[in-house]
Structure 1
Amino acid sequence: MRNYLTILFLAVLMASCSQPSNPSFKAEDISLVPKPTSFQLNESSFKFGPDTKIVASDQSQQKAINYLKGLFSKAAGYNLEEISAKTEGAVVFEVIEGLKNGAYKLNVTPNSITVSATEESGFFNAVQTIRQLLPIEIESANVVAANWLVPSVTIEDEPRFSWRGMHNDFSRHFIDIDEVKAFLDYMALYKLNTYHMHLTDDQGWRIEIKKYPLLTEKGAWRIPNNQDTICMERAQENKLYTIDEAKFKEIDGERKYGGFFTQEQIKEIVAYASDRCITVIPEIDMPGHFKSAIDNYPFLSCTGESGWDTVFTYPTCLGKETTYEFMKNILSEIVELFPAQYIHIGGDEVNIKSWEKCPLCQKAIKDNSLKDEHELQSHFNRDIEQFLHSKGKKLMGWDEIVQGGLTKDAAVMWWRGWRPEAPKKAVENGNELVITPTDAYYFDYLNDGNPLEKIYNYEPVPESFTAEEEKRVMGIQANLWSEWIPSFKRLQYQAFPRMLAVAENAWASKNNKDFEAFNKRVEKQYPRLDNLGVYYYIPVVKGLDKKIGMVDSTKVKLSLAYPLEGVEIYYTIDGSVPTKKSLKYTEPFVVNDTVEIKARAYKGDIYNDIKKTKVEKKEYIQSVDVSPKEKGLKRYLIPGKLKKVTDVNLKSASKWEVVDSVDIAEFKDKKPVNMVFSGYFHAEKDGIYQFETRSDGGDHLYIGQTLVVDNSGWHGPRKRYGIVALKAGWHSITIKYRPSDKPRAINAWYGLQGEPLQPITSEVTGF
């Protein structure tokens, strides 16, 4: 009997060994973006197979279920069966009450997956979390072999904001419907739920309006402009700037660029987005940025002519009833195509000069008891808003619409980071607000200047907002203006990985953020993006940001902006475009001649923008035989409004005083006064020195008689630099500053080449 029990025990043990449990995962194996509100990793995992069932109980679950089935159909070849009765080994969808929109609960065990939510977007977001927990092969467009395991987890998750948006500009450069669909899938993966389509602007009309066929027959096509030609020039070194030849066609004997969506295609996009719980917001710019319409319907302008003023185009005439009729006829077709609550009318950067001269506009101002042209635009906005209300819609516009008055029903997108009063004014007025400022959320800005860390650490809600005002913040949005984005690959490069930072900022609590931890999760997302065919940004090459000077020779050191596995640097010293066949950077290299260095990083087939600089041979400037008795510089004040920096002359100086540093001090934002800083600079040792200035208006920095920094011209605060070879000792230094009409800055720095810059202060100056 004892032997029988022993044999039975061994048989059971062997049977259990032959059917091992599903493996467990480590926390470092998992990357979820955005970060869930609450996450617990448990033992073991759930395995999908061809017989895995999906248990549905409500129509609100259908979009999520369809998406999950679609993933497995493409990548695994599984046709997951949908049933209504609960069973073992299934994915169970269940409705629970009380969760906010978008929120969900997810419980994964070795025996089942339970997805709980209150409404359809919650179920859909849960599926995107399952998608990110699955192997990256789930993103494959064709059937592949994989072990379809999902770690055992317990997640409770909800979004911070209801508006989690991305924007595409179709007017400057156009992307096709299949590319739009791909972008919507990227958005879905990271739980972004609002897609803003900028469909019309001066450079092109991109949506069919049946009542006005010329808008797309002619307004959707243009002779290549400066934006096109600049992209074509850049494409010689960077193929990401290549404009697809399919975007050109012969019209009236001329080669023109363009494209547009038919109304049927718009319906297809809206439906595709809806299946992913994404709302599509159309933007039809008015009354400015309307040149592509005025070109073909010239009665819309004040003068019957279309064109550009100094910066912006001439707007539509707001003194003509035909303008209002035209806009409403367009919007009548738009509202039928887009189920979204909001219709965006732009309203930004309107050139009001033509209204100032137009007798019809001036009559409209007088007849409606308006104060000025800004109130005329608000009068127009309110009229359009009432029309949209009659169609069951609400008006949305850029933050300029706040000026001149705004009804409480309108919503505002704050984009002008330099106008911090605009969002405060909007929420004080009771308007809903979307945060989308240039400071962080303009993704047409290069990654170098608007990097991932800056975006992630940006807190969108201004500190000045009260708790009640914060409730009016619907959310955030990143914008991809397409002046310099002529291809879908370039669009991907500008969007990723920064889009992930927006996704997390829009979802996670501001108290639940850690950039280092986030960046580690982002790095684990790259293989998934590779499977999706996303062409993302990789770190740029550092070390060629400025000119390099040498006397006899110099050592050039390159590095990456940040470390990323699999990224390598290739460079050339003959001015040619670096490829993976060029010199591979492994250590600093010596240059002993005047050359042009170009470098770029590669990660597989992905490459980034070229960084380049010239190596210039310099002759030493000898020090002067002086021993300054006082520390600091003399600052001379020169009254009068001067045209050029070269007009700043010490002979006109009214007085001078000793200053410790180069700055505008008490003259900031006051009546403009020209300045000269003069004295001696001490070079600690022989070497190449870099000098840098930052000013508005303009400045020159001289060492002796040599102009080292030329920061002249009319401009806002900006930096310029120069290099010079100095012998150790004292050197005469002069900085001339011609301010703008509103003086804001004059600063100066120095440093040995390759070392951090230091401010020019009394520590290194004297007279």
Structure 2
Amino acid sequence: MKKYITLILLTILLVSCIQPNPSFKEEEISILPKPSSIQIDKGSFKVEEDTKIVFQDKTQEKAVNYLTGLFNKAAGFNLEVVDNKVEDAIVFEKIEGLKEGAYKLEVSPTSIHAKASEENGFFNAVQSIRQLLPTEIESKEKVSIDWFVPSVTIEDEPRFQWRGMHMDFSRHFFNIDEVKDFLDNMALYKLNTYHMHLTDDQGWRIEIKKYPLLTEKGAWRTPNNQDTICMDKSVENKLFAIDESNFKEVDGERKYGGFFTQEQIKEIVAYADDRCITVIPEIDMPGHFKSAIDNYPFLSCNGESGWDTVFTYPTCLGKETTYEFMKNILAEVVGLFPSEFVHIGGDEVNIASWEVCPHCQKAIKEHGLKDEHELQSHFNRDIEQFLQSKGKKFMGWDEIVTGGLTKSANVMWWRNWFPNSPKIAAENGNGVVVTTTAAYYFDYLNEGTTLERVYNYEPIPADFTTEEEANVLGIQANLWSERIPSYKRLQYQAFPRMLAVAENAWASKENKDFEIFNNNVEKQYNRLDALGVYYYVPAVKGLDKEIAFVDETAISLDLAYELEGTEIYYTLDGSIPTKESLKYDAPFVVNDTIEIKARAYRGDIYNDLKSTKILHKEYTEPVNVTIKEKGLKQWVLKGKRKEVSDIKIPKTTNFTKVDSIALGDLKDKKRFSVVYQGYFKAEKDGVYEFETRSDGGDELFIGKEMVVDNSGWHGPRKRYGKIALKKGLHPITIKYRPSDKPRVIEAKFGLQGEELIAIDSKVTGY
């Protein structure tokens, strides 16, 4: 009997010793961007200290170096690289026929095979291996764990070749270590183009040896309104704090700034190249050039530098010295950046100074140009020819379409309200990069440009032909830094939306699904934590507007969307909430006029503060009238009013009955105002919210009380107000003063906390 027991124990021990590497389930794996196809197989490959890497040729060098670097830091492994076939190895194998960036990855319990046709494909395969590994692979210090790579079979290729991110260094500066960190994060998600906006009105950020004043003086400014806005915000949110290292004494004055030396630029370019990322420089011209004109005033039309009504004065395009200056700068720039493209900006140029400049007008006449827009195109063509002589391609923002394009120019489409720009460019055969404000401006708040909105945005316009679609180089998201003064704030604006850009740029339209993507994003947060990324935490909902009460009201808070490990903390005394404040678990009742502030935390990462005031309201009694007609009276008054308050309520019976509040045929009219009047029916006692949306301006009254003040002079916008109403009929008046191009007037209502619906004849009469 003892022999049998011994045999059984030996068998169990033997089986446990040869137990295969663990298998992984689909829900345990997250690779972003989503591969074209992925099959999960049984078992996994274990990377150990003696695991070999089989290396064939130089196209695999960057991928191999990156992979060995990860294991060297996180595991303490010095993986041996060999050029002969061995067992239980990570094998890089060159195959022909795959498009640029494409790869095949085969992981089994006995080997990893990464296959591609060129270095970008091999590097992308390593990033997929990186995401298959435990998140500890991102550690900068040695970690003792088992390094299992799930068995998978992947075939993958990118949709677009331009998969980009942009950083603006002019408005606020970011140092070289922060740039390198950002490049590492781009590499992880297979983004391959890094656009550096290096010059603008607010600061010159690249050393130009021929013109030393550009950085000696132009890189430093007296703190401006963009700085003070951020400093004011930093009182309640440290993400808006400006790094003190970006200030220094210049001519006895404290100034903000910074710049990259040419050696630092070379270091950034080399660091990016090791990660198969191309760095695109942007030197903005002929507008947005104040930081240069300040120090070289001969560049402007009249020797002056400064701001006009909206934009700064541009350089003079009637002087040869301007062209010489620009080419001298670009001659140094092209020597620093091996990239195929050089971006010259060309956006938001104030042409007013050219209209009165004798030099510019002379140039227009001499070159047979139609107007100032063609003068800018003439300048662009001259700069393009210079860049071509240096082996570079010309690129600018979509304003360069106005005035005409050469066949070889390239366009970044940012103004989604100008859909003709990319169409004209694509028809002309120009390369187009889609980077519209509609989805890809990441300086816009996450609450407005949501992760879902970014993901579901189709970059190629629906009216593009197959030939025009082929001219779309790819997509890019931009991080303009007017209100991004710190690297943590930049990460907060970029993540997780950068993952949506990565998948939009990589996956085919047919291979996209937001629900699947969102599940994959949730699995990425622990990796982002390991990388030290300060990402966006979903906003707190429930404090978006003032809250009114008569006796008391319940306050209900929630997150914009669920995120594991995220908790809400709040205060009732107007102080800034921390993790030591009240933790929100369920709705709570308030019956006093107080200020509530709340924010969510995930670990030590917190989001933007949300706050609101709790206001006490007395009920407004109804009036005793009899409704004869449903709907509202509408008067259309002739003549233009300066203010909404200038509109007088007519006493005439010359009105039109309307069933709803809408512009309708009035869109075609000029110089008029509108008054709506009647009675609103409150179905029950309660606090009611009213909302208007208009261009130009409007005011909404219940009785004599102005509930919504949407006056002023503005484009289409919403405003709201609240009032406590007793059940019954209440006089309602809406005054509307349209803009010069009337576009919209709408009005909605609802009980506080409920969905708003249109004010129409169902709830009105006279």
Q: TM-score, structure 1 length as denominator?
A: 0.98
Instruction: Kindly report which structure 2 residues correspond to 1:564-643, keeping only aligned pairs within 5 A, or say none.
Output: 564-643=563-642
Q: How far does residue 421 in structure 1 lie from its aligned partner after superposition?
A: 1.5
Q: How far does residue 572 in structure 1 lie from its aligned partner after superposition?
A: 0.8
Name 1:300's counterpart in structure 2: 299
- What is the rounded CA distance, in whole Å, between the counterparts of 1:628 and 1:32 in structure 2? 64
When structure 1 is superposed on structure 2, of 554-563 and 644-653 the one drifting more is 644-653
Q: How far does residue 16 in structure 1 lie from its aligned partner after superposition?
A: 3.9
- What is the rounded CA distance, in whole Å, between the counterparts of 2:169 and 2:654 in structure 1? 56
- What is the rounded CA distance, in whole Å, between the counterparts of 2:507 and 2:297 in structure 1? 49
Name 1:440's counterpart in structure 2: 439
Q: From the superposition, tell whether residues 362 and 654 of structure 1 become closer, same or farther in structure 2 (CA, over 3 Å).
A: farther
Amino acid at match of 2:102: A
- What is the rounded CA distance, in whole Å, between the counterparts of 2:667 and 2:612 in structure 1? 35
Look up the SS of the partner of 2:259 in the other structure.
Answer: coil
Counterpart contact for 1:639–1:654, Cα < 8 Å: no
- What is the rounded CA distance, in whole Å, between the counterparts of 1:115 and 1:275 in structure 2? 18
Amino acid at match of 1:437: T
Amino acid at match of 2:707: V
Q: How far does residue 64 in structure 1 lie from its aligned partner after superposition?
A: 0.3
Alignment of 1:510 onto 2:509: yes
Look up the SS of the partner of 2:626 in the other structure.
Answer: coil
Amino acid at match of 2:742: P
Deviations 1:449-501 (A, max 9, x none): 11101111111111000111110001000000000000000000000000000
- What is the rounded CA distance, in whole Å, between the counterparts of 2:106 and 2:431 in structure 1? 35
- What is the rounded CA distance, in whole Å, between the counterparts of 1:551 and 1:532 in structure 2? 49
Amino acid at match of 2:346: G
Q: How far does residue 13 in structure 1 lie from its aligned partner after superposition?
A: 7.3
Alignment of 1:730 onto 2:732: no
Q: How far does residue 667 in structure 1 lie from its aligned partner after superposition?
A: 2.2
Look up the SS of the partner of 1:441 in the other structure.
Answer: coil
- What is the rounded CA distance, in whole Å, between the counterparts of 1:519 and 1:578 in structure 2? 29
For the aligned residues, what is the CA RMSD? 1.6
Amino acid at match of 1:350: V
Instruction: Kindly report which structure 2 residues correspond to 1:181-580, keeping only aligned pairs within 5 A, or say none.
Output: 181-580=180-579
Q: How far does residue 669 in structure 1 lie from its aligned partner after superposition?
A: 5.5
Name 1:683's counterpart in structure 2: 682
Instruction: Kindly report which structure 2 residues correspond to 1:628-707, keeping only aligned pairs within 5 A, or say none.
Output: 628-651=627-650, 655-668=654-667, 670-707=669-706
Look up the SS of the partner of 2:625 in the other structure.
Answer: coil
Look up the SS of the partner of 1:439 in the other structure.
Answer: coil
Counterpart contact for 2:193–2:278, Cα < 8 Å: yes
Deviations 1:59-111 (A, max 9, x none): 10000000000000000000010001111110110111110000000000000
Q: From the superposition, tell whether residues 541 and 18 of structure 1 become closer, same or farther in structure 2 (CA, over 3 Å).
A: same
- What is the rounded CA distance, in whole Å, between the counterparts of 1:274 and 1:189 in structure 2? 14
Counterpart contact for 2:635–2:650, Cα < 8 Å: no
- What is the rounded CA distance, in whole Å, between the counterparts of 1:461 and 1:571 in structure 2? 43
Q: How far does residue 650 in structure 1 lie from its aligned partner after superposition?
A: 3.2
Amino acid at match of 1:71: L
- What is the rounded CA distance, in whole Å, between the counterparts of 1:228 and 1:653 in structure 2? 54
Look up the SS of the partner of 1:720 in the other structure.
Answer: strand
Counterpart contact for 2:283–2:345, Cα < 8 Å: yes
Name 1:49's counterpart in structure 2: 48
Q: From the superposition, tell whether residues 83 and 732 of structure 1 become closer, same or farther in structure 2 (CA, over 3 Å).
A: same
- What is the rounded CA distance, in whole Å, between the counterparts of 1:628 and 1:217 in structure 2? 75
Amino acid at match of 1:51: D
Q: How far does residue 57 in structure 1 lie from its aligned partner after superposition?
A: 0.6
Look up the SS of the partner of 1:480 in the other structure.
Answer: coil
Name 1:85's counterpart in structure 2: 84
- What is the rounded CA distance, in whole Å, between the counterparts of 1:241 and 1:392 in structure 2? 41
Q: Determine what percentage of the aligned residue pairs are the same residue.
A: 72
When structure 1 is superposed on structure 2, of 649-658 and 234-243 the one drifting more is 649-658
Deviations 1:647-674 (A, max 9, x none): 2223498942111111111222653531
Q: How far does residue 17 in structure 1 lie from its aligned partner after superposition?
A: 3.2
Amino acid at match of 2:356: K
Amino acid at match of 1:461: I
Name 1:137's counterpart in structure 2: 136
Alignment of 1:750 onto 2:742: no
| Structure 2, unaligned runs of 5 or more | none
Structure 1: which 4+ aligned runs deviate by more than 6 Å?
3-13
Name 1:159's counterpart in structure 2: 158
- What is the rounded CA distance, in whole Å, between the counterparts of 2:702 and 2:429 in structure 1? 57
Q: How far does residue 590 in structure 1 lie from its aligned partner after superposition?
A: 1.3
Deviations 1:301-324 (A, max 9, x none): 011000001111000001111000
Counterpart contact for 1:215–1:293, Cα < 8 Å: yes
- What is the rounded CA distance, in whole Å, between the counterparts of 2:661 and 2:684 in structure 1? 23
- What is the rounded CA distance, in whole Å, between the counterparts of 2:737 and 2:203 in structure 1? 40
Amino acid at match of 2:202: Q
Counterpart contact for 1:669–1:744, Cα < 8 Å: no
- What is the rounded CA distance, in whole Å, between the counterparts of 1:502 and 1:50 in structure 2? 36
Q: How far does residue 228 in structure 1 lie from its aligned partner after superposition?
A: 0.3
Q: How far does residue 9 in structure 1 lie from its aligned partner after superposition?
A: 11
Deviations 1:404-457 (A, max 9, x none): 101110110000111112111111111110000000000000000111011111
Name 2:114's counterpart in structure 1: 115
Counterpart contact for 1:636–1:654, Cα < 8 Å: no
Deviations 1:332-385 (A, max 9, x none): 000000011110000000000000111111111111111111111111100100
Amino acid at match of 2:219: A
Q: How far does residue 620 in structure 1 lie from its aligned partner after superposition?
A: 1.4
- What is the rounded CA distance, in whole Å, between the counterparts of 1:694 and 1:429 in structure 2? 40
How many residue pairs get matched?
765
Counterpart contact for 1:540–1:561, Cα < 8 Å: yes
| Structure 1, unaligned runs of 5 or more | none
Q: From the superposition, tell whether residues 10 and 723 of structure 1 become closer, same or farther in structure 2 (CA, over 3 Å).
A: closer
- What is the rounded CA distance, in whole Å, between the counterparts of 2:669 and 2:269 in structure 1? 52
- What is the rounded CA distance, in whole Å, between the counterparts of 1:531 and 1:151 in structure 2? 20
Look up the SS of the partner of 1:438 in the other structure.
Answer: coil
Name 2:66's counterpart in structure 1: 67
Q: From the superposition, tell whether residues 652 and 458 of structure 1 become closer, same or farther in structure 2 (CA, over 3 Å).
A: farther
- What is the rounded CA distance, in whole Å, between the counterparts of 2:196 and 2:571 in structure 1? 41
Counterpart contact for 1:538–1:603, Cα < 8 Å: yes
- What is the rounded CA distance, in whole Å, between the counterparts of 1:4 and 1:758 in structure 2? 83
- What is the rounded CA distance, in whole Å, between the counterparts of 2:253 and 2:335 in structure 1? 35
Counterpart contact for 1:638–1:653, Cα < 8 Å: no
Deviations 1:374-407 (A, max 9, x none): 1111111001001101111011000000001011
- What is the rounded CA distance, in whole Å, between the counterparts of 2:721 and 2:652 in structure 1? 27
- What is the rounded CA distance, in whole Å, between the counterparts of 1:401 and 1:393 in structure 2? 17
- What is the rounded CA distance, in whole Å, between the counterparts of 2:749 and 2:10 in structure 1? 80
Q: TM-score, structure 2 length as denominator?
A: 0.98
Q: How far does residue 8 in structure 1 lie from its aligned partner after superposition?
A: 9.7
Q: How far does residue 634 in structure 1 lie from its aligned partner after superposition?
A: 1.4
Look up the SS of the partner of 1:668 in the other structure.
Answer: helix
Q: How far does residue 4 in structure 1 lie from its aligned partner after superposition?
A: 12
Deviations 1:561-615 (A, max 9, x none): 1111111111111111011111111111111111111000011100000001111
- What is the rounded CA distance, in whole Å, between the counterparts of 1:582 and 1:13 in structure 2? 54
- What is the rounded CA distance, in whole Å, between the counterparts of 1:274 and 1:553 in structure 2? 62
Counterpart contact for 2:539–2:559, Cα < 8 Å: yes
Name 2:27's counterpart in structure 1: 28
Q: From the superposition, tell whether residues 654 and 361 of structure 1 become closer, same or farther in structure 2 (CA, over 3 Å).
A: farther
Look up the SS of the partner of 1:156 in the other structure.
Answer: strand
- What is the rounded CA distance, in whole Å, between the counterparts of 1:377 and 1:712 in structure 2? 39
